[in-house]
Structure 1
């Protein structure tokens, strides 16, 4: 993992001058891990986002085989080896039954559908922010999440403005820059050309919290942290559980500055920090920040719990196999 100052932070002090110059160029590659056990492609991206704090982007390619989410590893004896997510009785086949729906046989089958999975916490006064101001901020964050991760028109067209215009005016230029690279993948979903979702709504699980604090410049902000797993069903001819799923886990810190602390153009929604990975992806597409279903890889799980990618409480710091 690396961390960088954002390349698109705009001034928020009423007396501030022009924003900082862009930081180091995108992308940057860390050194390869000599102890890696993976037999397939490896890769990691670090990027900068708009806002007033560090931003990270971590992407992992994980293959889905049967009911398991698996990291690609060398084959055993020239044959693919699969590890199911549940223990099999002695003498039983490790192959799970065919799935009826795209989420069947995976943890996402129990997740709420679409927007129903994005539940706001009760709005209460926090620091200088009134209950009404907190409620307004939470509503803005939820609307941005719906557009960024669930709106099919947004995901399938090249127009990012429906999301960008939900942010503070001074944040928009930085966001547009993020959408010219793959940095946006830390907080928004775009499909690769030719990628096709099924008619099923994505399954969503996670939570939202908030607190009043100050940013690095001393500006009072309401920081809203979202932590969600998004499971997308792609069209596939396979009937094995999970084969058609791409799973994204992200943690984003959104912020709304206290109105008295900033210029009018800086009043509104910002992103302070973002972390994400995607599983079972097409690596070439995700090099551009785009989602598509990956080709299957075989091997044992790199995590003791192969369902970890579906759990918003698990770490985002997973091995990258692109």
Structure 2
């Protein structure tokens, strides 16, 4: 979006960073071939494959391993065949680090700021109403109304979404006319950290967040049972400016940097403020639509910064 705050804004973002799904068919074939088999009786099955992962404390060294014989998700098991099966459920996956006095903020103030940052991530990415396309009123209420242009730009993004002003850059929203979530669980993995702002950001405390959210969805049509997943990774840096030096609202969050990457979202469609996942039943889609030009990206790979990923409209290696 076209927002600025103390001269810091969206870095390396363009609508092309939305990634469409391109490997669903391959996964379907493998899943169907093994649908009648019991993994727990196979010699390569490791019972540890279903144990919850420990919380992420640093950047992983690589992407999660692919299943040798991936299973298709179902209405009863929407995360089957996904690395997210072992991830935390919802808000339990957003764990603030231990607080300590940082910059102008005391330990107690940092504790409160971390809790507010978590509240924003929950309200913008996990609120069932927001996921179903509602305006994220609670999340918007946590942002500093005195940050220049932030609220006005967001209001414009919701009213008239464009490549430059797209609410999905901060909020996870699906069109209720097209799809609905499967169950109530969104899988989450990531981490956050706190640091004292330096250089141009002197006088601020920065909370850096990096989280991936996995949404299982089906078509909105009654009786639909083909489950697909959309994977959203967000990096957001919140700014807490010293009220003795800046005109800010205490207790509210500033946003200085943001970026996102999405697996299984049709990036060839015009921006309308919603994600548009692909389904196998859709086949090849609109033959007149432009083909994604970028390379395939693994949306579960958290080992690279988002700025290192291709910015073109590309394909997702798995969902």
TM range (shorter): 0.5 to 0.7
Are the counterparts in 1 of residues 212 and 231 from structure 2 also a CA contact under 8 Å?
yes
State how 1:1-322 maps to structure 2 within 5 Å: 47-52=1-6, 53-56=8-11, 57=13, 58-65=17-24, 85-87=66-68, 96-100=70-74, 101-171=77-147, 174-181=150-157, 182-194=165-177, 195-214=179-198, 216=200, 219-235=202-218, 237=224, 244-265=228-249, 268-283=252-267, 287-296=271-280, 302=295, 308-316=298-306, 317-318=309-310, 319-321=312-314
Residues 133, 175 of structure 2: 8 Å contact kept: no
Would the alpha carbon gap of residues 321 and 156 (structure 1) be closer, same or farther in structure 2, given more than 3 Å must change? same
Tell me how far 1:173 sits from its aligned partner.
Answer: 5.1
| Superposition CA RMSD, Å | 3.1
Q: Secondary structure at the match of 2:99?
A: coil
The 8 Å contact of residues 205 and 228 in structure 1, kept in 2 or not, is answered as yes
CA distance in 2, matches of 1:215, 1:144: 26
CA distance in 2, matches of 1:275, 1:202: 20
Distance in structure 2 (CA, Å) of the matches to 1:222 and 1:246: 32
Contact 2:203 2:245 survives alignment (8 Å): yes
Does structure 1 retain, via aligned residues, the 8 Å contact 2:3–2:153?
no
Where structure 2 has 5 or more consecutive residues not aligned to the other structure, the ranges are 29-64, 158-164, 285-293
- 1: distance between equivalents of 2:194 and 2:26? 35
Gaps of 5+ in 1: 1-46, 70-83, 89-95
CA distance in structure 2 between the partners assigned to 1:160 and 1:134 by the alignment: 24
1:161, distance to aligned residue in structure 2 (A): 2.9
> Residue 31 of structure 1 corresponds to which residue in structure 2?
none
Secondary structure in 2 aligned to 1:164? helix
* Secondary structure class of the residue paired with 2:20: coil
- Would the alpha carbon gap of residues 163 and 198 (structure 1) be closer, same or farther in structure 2, given more than 3 Å must change? same
Deviation per residue, 1:85-112 (Å, 9 max, x gap):
4446xxxxxxx44444111111111111
Contact kept, 8 Å, 2:229 with 2:264, in 1: the verdict is yes
For 1:86 and 1:127, locate their aligned partners in 2 and report how far apart those are by CA, in whole Å: 45
Count residues in correspondence.
247
**Structure 1 residues 286, 86: CA separation in 2 closer, same or farther (over 3 Å shift)?**
farther
Q: 1:272 to 1:98 in 2, by over 3 A?
A: closer
Structure 1 residues 143, 165: closer, same or farther in 2, change over 3 A?
A: same
- 8 A Cα contact 1:247 1:280, kept in partner: yes
Deviation at 1:180, TM superposition (A): 2.5
If the length of structure 2 is used for normalisation, what is the TM-score? Answer: 0.67
